[in-house]
Amino acid sequence: MTNHIKIKIRTIVIDCKNAKKLADFYAKLLGWNQTVIEPDWVLMRDPSGGTGLSFQAEPLYVKPTWPEEPDCQQKMLHIDFLVEDLEIATKHAVECGATLAPIQFLSGVRVFFDPEGHPFCLFTDSEYLWK
């Protein structure tokens, strides 16, 4: 007999040098409010009920290198954000403080760096039905 275990991703925690600074960037990018603010940790919940983000200051944080290079700090993950209009979202991300990566590999996808150097992507999906 197999027991059914309910598991849901509630929050993705991103390590950084400055939790408040990085949370401010993502709050502006996503239009989310910061729900818990502590000296070295900030939590934001998706207002629509999806997965939240939190930011944890780590004194030994090292900015990742992307694209990856041998003997350099590797990224551990990146976040893909679905957007309705890639050009408008690209402009918005830059206005929020993101840096467009100098190397882009795919059409329909834009790679950026947040203020702490984490790569993230904006992409479109013509089959996604926006509500």
| Strand-strand pairing, 79-82 and 52-57 | unpaired
Q: Is the pTM of this model over 0.85?
A: yes
114: CATH: 3.10.180.10
Residues 86 and 48 in one domain: no
Residues 90 and 131 in one domain: yes
Number of domains in the chain: 2
* pLDDT value, residue 74: 87
pLDDT in tens, 35-84: 999 999 999 999 999 999 999 999 999 999 988 889 989 888 899 999 99
Residues 98 and 44 in one domain: no
What kind and span of H or E run contains 79?
strand 79-82
Domain enclosing residue 45, as ranges: 1-60
In this prediction, what percent of the chain has a pLDDT beyond 90?
80
Query: Can you read off the two tokens belonging to residue 52?
Result: 């939240």
pLDDT in tens, 78-131: 999 999 999 999 999 999 999 999 999 998 999 999 999 999 999 999 899 987
Final residue of a structural domain among 60, 75, 97: 60
